[in-house]
C-alpha cells in the first residue's frame, strides 16, 4: 500500500500545491495506519497483553518512525501469546520482537540478544537504567530506546557461540552496560573486535 501511495504522489500530481496537500494526506494516513495495525489484532488479549499492545501503539504514534517497515511488520495473538515484530525498512538485522505470554513474562528480542521482563521484577528490586515502574513499563522503555537510537549491541563471534554486550545511551550521551549475554554455537570464525549494531528507526535518511 505504501508503494501505491508513493507512486501516486510522484506521478499523478501536477501542481506543487496539490502535491503538497496530497503528501500531507498520505502522511496522515500512514501515521494512523502505523498504530492501528497493532490494536486491530484478532484474538483475545488479557490485561497484561492489552497494556503492551496499547503501549506499543502509543510509542509508534508518538514517534512515527520513518524507518519502520509497516507493511513487513506484524502482530499475532493466539494460544502462544501476543507477538509483535517490528522491521527496519532497510536494515533487517535491526529487527525487534516483543512476546507477551500473558502469564507475567515479556521477552524483547533484538538482533542476537533478548531480555526477559517478569511481573516479580519490582518485588525483587530489579533496577534498570531506563525508567520503569513495573515489567510492562520496562518492556516499553526498552522498545522505545531501541527505536530511538539509545541501544547499542556489540557481538563477538566465538567458535562455540557469540558473546554479546548491550549498552544503553544515557541522557549525557554515555554508553552504560546493562546486559551481558550470548548464544551457544557452533560458529565459524573469531572476531577480535565486535560487530556493532546501533538500533534507530527514527533518524532521517539512510542509517550507516
Nearest to 157 by CA among 189, 111, 110: 189
Nearest to 139 by CA among 162, 108, 163, 110: 108
pLDDT at residue 27, as a whole number: 44
pLDDT at residue 183, as a whole number: 79
pLDDT at residue 94, as a whole number: 95
Q: Can you give the pLDDT of all 208 residues of the chain as single tens digits?
A: 333 223 333 333 344 555 555 444 444 444 444 457 898 887 789 999 999 999 999 999 999 999 999 999 999 999 889 999 999 999 999 999 999 999 999 999 999 899 999 999 878 878 777 778 899 999 999 999 999 999 999 999 888 888 999 999 988 999 999 999 987 766 667 778 999 999 999 986 544 4
Residue in this structure with the C-alpha cell 522498545, named with its chain if needed: 143
| C-alpha angle 35-111-130 in degrees, rounded to nearest 5 | 65
C-alpha cell at 3: 508503494
Q: Which residues contact 141 (CB under 8 A, 6 or more apart)?
A: 128, 130, 131, 132
C-alpha cell at 86: 517490528
How many residues are present in the chain? 208
Distance CA 156, CA 47 (A): 39
C-alpha cell at 32: 494512523
- 99: number of CA atoms within 13 Å, CB side? 11
Please give the model's pTM, rounded to 2 decimal places.
0.79
Amino acid at each position: 500500500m505504501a508503494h501505491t501511495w508513493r507512486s501516486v504522489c510522484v506521478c499523478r500530481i501536477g501542481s506543487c500545491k496539490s502535491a503538497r496537500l496530497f503528501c500531507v494526506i498520505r502522511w496522515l494516513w500512514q501515521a494512523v495506519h502505523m498504530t492501528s495495525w497493532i490494536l486491530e489484532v484478532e484474538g483475545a488479549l488479557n490485561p497484561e497483553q492489552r497494556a503492551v499492545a496499547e503501549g506499543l501503539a502509543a510509542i509508534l504514534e508518538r514517534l512515527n518512525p520513518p524507518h519502520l517497515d509497516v507493511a513487513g511488520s506484524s502482530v499475532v495473538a493466539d494460544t502462544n501469546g501476543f507477538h509483535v515484530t517490528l522491521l527496519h525498512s532497510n536494515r533487517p538485522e535491526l529487527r525487534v520482537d516483543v512476546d507477551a505470554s500473558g502469564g507475567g513474562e515479556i521477552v524483547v528480542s533484538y538482533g542476537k540478544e533478548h531480555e526477559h521482563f517478569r511481573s516479580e521484577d519490582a518485588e525483587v528490586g530489579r533496577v534498570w537504567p531506563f525508567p520503569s515502574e513495573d515489567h510492562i513499563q520496562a518492556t516499553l522503555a526498552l522498545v522505545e530506546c531501541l527505536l530511538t537510537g539509545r541501544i547499542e549491541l556489540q557481538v563477538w563471534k566465538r567458535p562455540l557461540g557469540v558473546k554479546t554486550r548491550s549498552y544503553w545511551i544515557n541522557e549525557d550521551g554515555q554508553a552504560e552496560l546493562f546486559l551481558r549475554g550470548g548464544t551457544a554455537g557452533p560458529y565459524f570464525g573469531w572476531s577480535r573486535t565486535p560487530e556493532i549494531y546501533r538500533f534507530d528507526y527514527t533518524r532521517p535518511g539512510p542509517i550507516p
